[in-house]
Amino acid sequence: MERVRTNVERVIEGKPEVVSSALVVLLAEGHLLIEDVPGVGKTMLSKALARSIDSTVRRIQFTPDLLPSDVTGVSVFNQDTRQFEFRPGGVFANIVVGDEINRASPKTQSALLECMEERQVTVDNATYQLETPFMVIATQNPVEMEGTYTLPEAQRDRFMVRTSMGYPVEAAELAMIAGHTEGNPLDDLEHVTDAAEIRKLTAIVGQVFVAEAVQRYTVALTSATRRTDELVLGASPRATLHLVRAAKAYAALQGRDYVLPDDVRTLAPRVLTHRLLPSVEASMNERSTDEILQRLVATVPVPDGTRG
């Protein structure tokens, strides 16, 4: 994973936390949502991660006229055999890069629901299994941008982590000028691992130990989002599972075979914030979901002990 990190950071300058989030999601068998303004490297990060792994990669450019069948696939009648044949859509790959996902209509966005949660696609009463590893890396522009559709709650809840690129610091932007103006740095990236190795790593991450006290702490965090009056929609049980799985991957990347409460606390904003909806009163008082979650996390007691 350090080889993958180094490879990606050859293209993405000065964003170690964002690259770390991508690696956590990959090992935790989740999906990544990257939200930010145009031109800060969202697609570049997605493609750099995809090129670092010797696996099947497909890119879907989400546009207003994109159809659900373009994503999942469609049955086509073959005149020679007089039978219908299934032609796979863009999701039939190990890594799917969905560019500007919120520029497609909600109807097309919903085509990803089944494959993201169940790793399968159903078309014309036939179910097709997707290969593992399977990861969707989607980029989106802020909803204030022209020509965007807000992702529905069910869609956002299927993304394990939402992260933002942010603008680079001056030194990183200067390094970017030197590295990107002479050619495309993606062309020089080589595979440093493959899909089989990633499958082994995800199996190892699944064996990371989570103490009962850490499990209770995770449930306490997500439960706190459901009880507060500042939120009309709290974290779902799926969010709890995602938080634990992400913490296990984060611990493994730190070289540990057990999860600390600090792992959960560190990842909580990345895993939970995009699933929450503020109340009308909170919105009128200009309290963001980040601020609300930060206050809630501060109120939940942290378990004592290295292993929870």
Domain locations along the chain: 2-198, 207-299
- Give pLDDT, residue 307: 46
**How far apart are alpha carbons 237 and 197 in whole angstroms?**
30
pLDDT in tens, 123-133: 888 899 999 89
Helix axes 261-272, 212-227, angle to 10 degrees: 30
pLDDT in tens, 64-105: 899 999 999 998 988 888 888 899 999 999 999 898 898 888
CA angle 39, 41, 45 (to 5 degrees): 160
What is the residue-averaged pLDDT of the chain? 88
- Give pLDDT, residue 72: 93
**How far apart are alpha carbons 49 and 70 in whole angstroms?**
24
Q: Which amino acid is at 202?
A: T
pLDDT in tens, 102-155: 888 888 888 899 999 999 999 888 899 999 899 999 988 876 666 678 888 888
Does domain 207-299 correspond to CATH entry 1.10.8.80? yes
Topology match between the domains 2-198 and 207-299: no
Residue 63 gets the label, from left (phi > 0), alpha (psi -120 to 50) or beta, of: beta
CATH superfamily of 2-198: P-loop containing nucleotide triphosphate hydrolases (3.40.50.300)
pLDDT in tens, 202-224: 999 999 999 999 999 999 999 99
Average pLDDT over residues 280-290: 88
**How far apart are alpha carbons 34 and 204 in whole angstroms?**
26
pLDDT in tens, 180-191: 677 777 778 889
pLDDT in tens, 9-35: 888 878 888 899 999 999 999 999 988
- Give pLDDT, residue 308: 42
Average pLDDT over residues 257-276: 94
